[in-house]
Amino acid sequence: MKNKKYITLGFAFISIALSLLFTSNLFAETPAKSSEASRLEALTKFTKVLSIVEQYDVDKPTIEALVDKALDGMMKNLDAHSNYLTEKDYKSLQVQTKGEFGGLGITVGMKDGALTVISPIDGTPADKAGLKAKDIILKIDDKSTLGMTIDEAVSLMRGKVGDPIDVTIVRAGEMKPLKVHIVRGIITIESVHAKTIGDNILYIRVASFDQKVAKDVKKAILAHKKAKGIILDLRNNPGGLLDQAIDVVDLFVDKGPIVSQKGREAKDEKIYSATTSATITKVPMVVLVNGGSASASEIVSGALQDHKRAVLVGEKTFGKGSVQVVLPITKTEAIKLTIARYYLPSGRTIQAVGVTPDISVTAGEVKTHKNEFALKEADLKEHLKKELAKVDGKKKADKEDKKANKDIITPEMLNKDIQLKEGVDIIKALAIIKG
């Protein structure tokens, strides 16, 4: 009873303070008075509801618990990426930022209210288990994701290395939900992989934009100076650091805006532009994208498209073009808040729209048909056997060399990836035109 008395007195003092603030603004200008009155009425309503719930709710919640719930609800209803971070959530976020933790290796987001896989990260447990971009997660073990925040879902999926987890998903084209069994592992990401296609095409795969991506991409380009074309593969790239996305575009574009960041105030606008000194190549380019390409990868692909510096091939990207910051509110708690949106050089937004490729190609294999009845010179009875033997021998040797070299993409590999095959064909055509 004593505690309730103090709480009631506390709310009484709040009401008196609000009334005094309201009275002190009676002689202010009309618009300011109206705005302040509305603000104070809202605060009064909040304290009143808080008092009633604390006093009469059947479960006897504490004021601290009610305030936490109110903050959580408020942040959830702002947008899909804003959250109130409790002490546990805040610690979890700090662990993730530092790097080594046990998890699945997927990036998730909210799309139409559903917890959706943006992309699995190359070589991680989720990738090996077969999770795909656009999979909708219905359950994590036996817990439904309905109404769950992204941070809550990430917290459930992260855990001790070696511990198993079952994820129930809905996938386009499947008649019923699928249960995927995954064993948690240490998530370490090798972000940049460089390979060659044929004699003169450089293939660069960027899995995510960590702090060394621009440096590693530059290193790959300088190591293959004779390349007549570059394919930049950003498929299933969930994004990462903004400065790395800007620096990667700067390697290919010598002037003009790369991306702009706009908040609620005009003074908060920032424009990031290309610099001539950072540009190291002007060879023809193709960028591969899909529904798992998000955030920083959308900035890179969209900027290169707007500058007409690259041809985009694949499928429409995810559409995450907002900026979040983590703001501490106590020593152990924080909020994650959306403060701005990204805009591409042409002024178009990425948020909830994505980037549409110049040439749409659905993922799959190249369909080939071998004609068993076609006759070639080698099938004729009196063909030049010695010359043929030399050619066959060289082809066989080349084939064996390519099989042994992991840094080469063979024609057989291309036929298993129709989007990459289309990109290679475009690069070849652009290289011929450029001469």
Q: Where are the alpha helices (DSSP H) in 171-279?
A: 213-223, 242-250
Under 8 Å between Cβ of 150 and 81:
yes
Nearest CA to 131 out of 297, 292, 355 is that of 292
Interatomic CA distance for residues 153 and 96, integer angstroms? 14
DSSP single-letter state for residue 208: -
Beta bridge partners, 327, equal 335
List active site positions. Answer: 295, 306, 320
Nearest CA to 80 out of 324, 355, 290 is that of 324
* Owner of token pair 């909708």: 136
DSSP single-letter state for residue 349: B
Interatomic CA distance for residues 30 and 327, integer angstroms? 34
Structure tokens at 407: 């840094």
H or E element at residue 328: strand 322-328
